Chain A
Amino acid sequence: MMNQLSSWQSYWLIRSNRFRKKRAIKKQLVMLSLDKTTAFYSLIVGGYVFASIFIFNDFMQQFDDYFLIIEQQMGERFWLILTLVPIRYVFQSFRNPGVLITSSEYQLGVLPHSIKKIAYYVAIEKWIMQLVRYVIIGTFIILITPIDAFLIWIYFLLFWTIEVLMTIPQWKLFQAHFMVKLVIFLSLLLVDIVGTIIHQSKLISIAILLTVLVSNFLLRKKLFSQIHWGRVTEVNNYLVWNMPLISRATKIKFRRERKYNIFQNMASRKRPFAYTNIAIHKRLWLQHFRENIEFIIQVIGGLFLAIVILPFVKDLIALFGIAISIHVYTLFAASMFRDRFHSGIVQVLPWDVKSFRNTMKHWSVLGFIPIMIPIIIYAIIQFSWWSISFLLLIITLFIMNLTAKMDNAEALLDKKITDFSLKGVVAFLSLFLIVLCEFQPYISLVSILLLAYIVFQNYNSKRKKHVG
């Protein structure tokens, strides 16, 4: 008779096979991108750079003053940081249960193994791995910086303890209603802000720590009651198998299954659509944006931050940044547009591309607003009255670039591949007008011509549609 595998052995079998599979995928990626000779020379160059920076020259010595400031801040702000760390886990609980039970681990619960036991193994493994990670990072920091070793270990011990203590609260919060999470998150933020203002961070941090301890104690018996396993495994499958580098190299995106969403239970969402393109496409766009929300936030947030920061570097660079951000954002909007047609059921349907484009138009404009805000502030500060024509220039260039890229996306969807789009090149080159405004602000008056061109184009296309 065969011996049955223990729960630990079964879990370990899954873990080690997952590790092997991931390693094999990464190995394939390396083989695809590097041959042996390139890998060898890259290793030598990498080794040389590392040695020249950290060993032969005292490269890090020039940053000593900064490290001393960091050390001083670490000492002074210990209690404030202690209050902030738990908020991170509450924030994570919106999208991540914190305990990596994928559908494979969950399957073990269907076999003669207890899912509770498996969950404990997963949590303990996570704590051990995190401890190892902290020890490695801590040692590295101690080796290359002059920061007091004791302070570093205290910090990492603090991070690790909170990681352990927040495992249960995050797990239970993930199961809770969106509003519960939001209220807790905002309350913690508020308490933190108040604590900082009245200089009572120490008291607040002790109170938060005690609350976390009490919640651990109270929740310990309800760990596995009212758990939405479907959602847990859906999110964790994505977290485990979404490998951005691999996706980028193979151009195959790992899509989250997303069987559950907070709007699904709303009766209004279940009602049949008004039988119009607008009503149907609106839902399809919302679904598409929700599926790519991380990517959207990254791009818009990144461009927003770039425009906020660049004016502090140099005005010319800030204007370059604005021009590039228009190019990147419009490229991104066009790529989101095309991507809609290559996912889910839409890929097997006939595409009314024009109608889809019309229904996406206001979303593209809406997404540009966060980027436009720092541009407006910068323009007012930098150009005073000229800011009016400068902003008009930004808007017209945005419309021109968006139109050119969407035209191109439309052509690509119809497989009428255009490698060279004159309109696209002109729209791109005209972005340099933004940079030229640094030397002569009146260049922004070109925007009046551009506006006239856009109005003429719109009138033309409407007339064509009418005749058609």
Chain B
Amino acid sequence: MNNLLIVKNLEVAIKENKLLDNISFTLSEGSVVALVGHNGAGKSTLMKTIMGIQEKNDGEIIIDEKYNQDTNYLDYKKKIAFIPEEPLLMSELTAMQHFQLYGKSYQMEEDELKRRIERYVEGFELQGKLNEYPESLSKGMRQKVQTICAMLPDVPLLLIDEPFMGLDIYAVDYFEEILREKVACGTSILLTTHQIKRVKDLADHFILLQEGEIIHKGKIAEFETIKRRREE
């Protein structure tokens, strides 16, 4: 299988403080990798750096062998959809307007966009909420809107920061179903999680981060547990 994402010698620091140090890994097409680690290990920073929101000090990030974050950023961005840990919805846009913004940004055809919105809205039980502003929605509903947004386009790479945060059990099951579908179509997923059990069936590899460094990686079946901080 080809490598879809290549992360090489990545370093992120704020002044002297290194948030990520010498991070290197690859993600092959259609694979799911779980980023695990304690709070503050650098998982979200790594996600944001791949997204390009967090500036890196050194290293290279390449998608599909030709889209380099440093030299081809605008095209590079088109290859990724991101679900942040906290919904980033805008107060000025309704749920439907958010979906349209995503559709237009990923240059989706209107008919296809409508079909997908209809399907996901039904699956996530958001009917009747399309013309609501984020403030009128519960936290879980906002998370659902954000999740649908990222599920709408067909992109080769999905970055998901804590995929099941704030979702009810039915939504979690439905979301898992969509993710499996996406993977079957060749989408690669990099996700961060604290719910290892939940993603064990979904992910095929793991990367264990600690204090901004990769301390272990391998097949998800080989993953045992994260030691408590005070045991280290």
Contact = CB atoms under 8 A, between A and B. Distances in A.
B191 to A, nearest CB: 15
A350 B100 contact: no
Contact of B90 (A273, A344, A413): A344
B53 interface: yes
A177 interface: no
A464 interface: no
Given A345-B88, A413-B74, A415-B69, A273 B102 contact: no
B198 interface: no
Given A272-B97, A344-B90, A264 B133 contact: yes
A455 to B, nearest CB: 28
B92 A350 contact: no
B77 interface: yes
Contacts of B71: 415-416
Interface residues of B, number: 38
B113 to A, nearest CB: 8
Interface size class of A (residues with CB under 8 A): 20 to 34
B186 interface: no
B119 interface: no
Interface in A430-466: none
Given A271-B131, A350-B106, A280 B92 contact: no
A38 interface: no
Contacts of B52: 415
A272 B96 contact: yes
Interface string B63-97: 00000011111100110001010001111111011
Contacts of B130: 272
Interface of chain A: mostly helix, strand, loop or mixed: loop
Contacts of B84: 348
B185 interface: no
Contacts, number: 86
Nearest to B113: A275
B88 A350 contact: no
Given A287-B92, A350-B78, A415-B69, A280 B131 contact: no
A348 B100 contact: no
B101 A275 contact: no
Contacts of A344: 88, 90
B94 A345 contact: no
B65 to A, nearest CB: 18
B74 A350 contact: yes
A349 B131 contact: no
A348 B133 contact: no
A258 interface: yes
Contacts of B96: 272
Contacts of A276: 104
B105 interface: yes
Contacts of B72: 414
B74 A347 contact: no
Contacts of A421: none
A379 interface: no
B58 interface: no
A352 B92 contact: no
Nearest to B99: A272
Interface string A258-275: 111100100001111101
Interface in B129-149: 130-131, 133, 135, 149
Given A259-B91, A352-B104, 12 more contacts: A257-B91, A259-B135, A264-B133, A272-B96, A272-B100, A280-B97, A287-B92, A348-B88, A351-B74, A352-B105, A415-B73, A416-B71
The 9 closest A-B pairs by CB, nearest first: A349-B105, A415-B73, A350-B78, A350-B77, A287-B92, A345-B88, A348-B82, A275-B110, A270-B131
